């Protein structure tokens, strides 16, 4: 374990990143560019996983893997770049359910994953195999090989996650979340080891409620994260999200939709928090929660900007390691934010 030792640098820094879908995958993609691949483990939410058309679909795992493999659709963030929609077109013509968009290449992966799971492989094993096939060098782990299902309590009733998220386009007002099976789930092999062995845990800019909380709900994960230096990146920028319903969820839950609310949500875990430069005015309030703040450009609309943000997150964190977060001065925060305007 080298954390906190003076010689820790970006090239030797071991990172465990917790990620959900598109935003998380993009930062994971950046981290994969700036770290030694063997030093990065991405632990991915599987609470969104569901069975559809008899296929086991793992949206967040796939988004992370496609992104790390350079295969992700750059426009949507999910699905495969240049995918086609022939199967879905026929399915739809025959009256089948087409609300969940499955491209043809994507379908091939779901078919093969489902086949392997039915043949007795675990989700971890399948994921490892897929990463090898895709040439992904970082370690990608599902949070658990056990079934954990995110349910959304809402004014339209308690909804299965994909029903809420895709079919109903996040329209119902949420009032809470429930991770069915979480209390009895085991972390997937390697998850606790990766966190315990990490110089730094990164909470990617994913939805706190339905992407990162399910991971942290797997027994042992939150406690393991609490024992390691941990920084987060806000998925909320100027009160809004780039993608997804996180901002809407905060509001519906009676909370302010802001980077401050995200920092507060993870207060027990974070020694530092990265927010967008837009939200620099929140730095003081976030620092008052007992964590260092870095306000910078967090928009990851190109692979270059993902790598840049990843480097920024790592350097901000390395500077904090071994130093009580509350000791970071406002000057330091401003310097960090100003550097990249």
Binding residues (CB under 8 A) for its own copies: these are 53-55, 83-84, 86-97, 103-109, 111-112, 114-115, 118, 129-130, 133
Alpha carbon distance 126, 129 (integer Å): 5
By beta-carbon proximity to its own copies, the closer residue of 87 and 299 is 87
State the minimum distance, in angstroms, from the CB of residue 31 to its own copies: 24
* Cα dihedral 173, 178, 179, 180 sign: negative
State the minimum distance, in angstroms, from the CB of residue 74 to its own copies: 18
Alpha carbon distance 212, 192 (integer Å): 15
The Cβ of residue 107 has, within 10 Å, a number of other Cβ atoms equal to 21
By beta-carbon proximity to its own copies, the closer residue of 97 and 322 is 97
State the minimum distance, in angstroms, from the CB of residue 313 to its own copies: 31
By beta-carbon proximity to its own copies, the closer residue of 108 and 176 is 108
Alpha carbon distance 215, 225 (integer Å): 11
State the minimum distance, in angstroms, from the CB of residue 114 to its own copies: 6
By beta-carbon proximity to its own copies, the closer residue of 160 and 318 is 160
Report long-range pairs for 83-92 (Cβ below 8 Å, ≥24 apart): 91/53
Partners of residue 51 on adjacent β-strands: 56
By beta-carbon proximity to its own copies, the closer residue of 118 and 167 is 118
- Rg of the chain taking only CA atoms, in angstroms: 19
State the minimum distance, in angstroms, from the CB of residue 72 to its own copies: 14
The Cβ of residue 334 has, within 10 Å, a number of other Cβ atoms equal to 14
105 closest CA partner among 143, 79, 144: 79
HEC string of 218-259 equals CCCHHHHHHCCCEEEECCEECCEECCCCHHHHHHHCCCCCCH
Six-digit token pair at 309?
């943000």
By beta-carbon proximity to its own copies, the closer residue of 114 and 251 is 114
By beta-carbon proximity to its own copies, the closer residue of 126 and 293 is 126
State the minimum distance, in angstroms, from the CB of residue 106 to its own copies: 8
State the minimum distance, in angstroms, from the CB of residue 84 to its own copies: 5
Q: Are strands 50-52 and 55-57 parallel, antiparallel or unpaired?
A: antiparallel
């Amino acid at each position: 374990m080298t954390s906190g030792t003076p010689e820790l640098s970006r090239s030797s820094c071991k990172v465990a990143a917790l990620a959900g879908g598109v935003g998380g995958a993009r930062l994971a993609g950046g981290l994969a560019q700036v770290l030694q691949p063997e030093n990065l483990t991405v632990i991915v939410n599987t609470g969104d996983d569901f069975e559809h058309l008899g296929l086991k679909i793992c949206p967040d795992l796939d988004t992370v893997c496609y992104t790390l493999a350079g295969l992700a659709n750059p426009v949507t963030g999910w699905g495969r770049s240049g995918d086609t929609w022939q199967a879905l077109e026929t399915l739809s013509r025959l009256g089948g359910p087409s609300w969940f968009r499955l491209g043809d290449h994507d379908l091939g992966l779901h078919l093969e994953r489902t086949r392997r799971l039915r043949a007795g492989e675990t989700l971890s094993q399948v994921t490892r195999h897929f990463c090898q096939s895709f040439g992904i060098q970082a370690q990608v782990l599902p949070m658990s090989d056990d079934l954990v299902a995110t349910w959304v309590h809402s004014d339209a009733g308690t909804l299965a996650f994909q029903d809420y998220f895709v079919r109903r386009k996040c329209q119902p007002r949420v009032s809470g979340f429930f991770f069915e099976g979480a209390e009895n789930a085991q972390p997937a092999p390697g998850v606790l080891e990766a966190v315990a062995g990490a110089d730094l845990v990164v909470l990617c800019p994913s939805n706190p409620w339905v992407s990162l909380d399910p991971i942290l709900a797997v027994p042992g994960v939150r406690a393991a994260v609490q024992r390691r230096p941990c920084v987060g990146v806000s998925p909320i920028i100027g009160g809004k999200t780039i993608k997804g319903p996180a901002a809407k969820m905060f509001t519906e839950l009676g909370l302010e939709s802001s980077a401050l609310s995200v920092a507060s949500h993870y207060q027990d875990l974070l020694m530092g928090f990265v927010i967008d430069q837009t939200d620099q005015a929140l730095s003081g309030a976030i620092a008052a929660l007992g964590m260092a703040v870095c306000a910078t450009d967090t928009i990851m609309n190109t692979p270059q900007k993902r790598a840049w943000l990843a480097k920024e997150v790592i350097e901000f964190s390395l500077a904090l390691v071994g130093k009580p977060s509350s000791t970071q001065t406002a000057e330091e925060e401003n310097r960090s934010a100003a550097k990249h305007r």
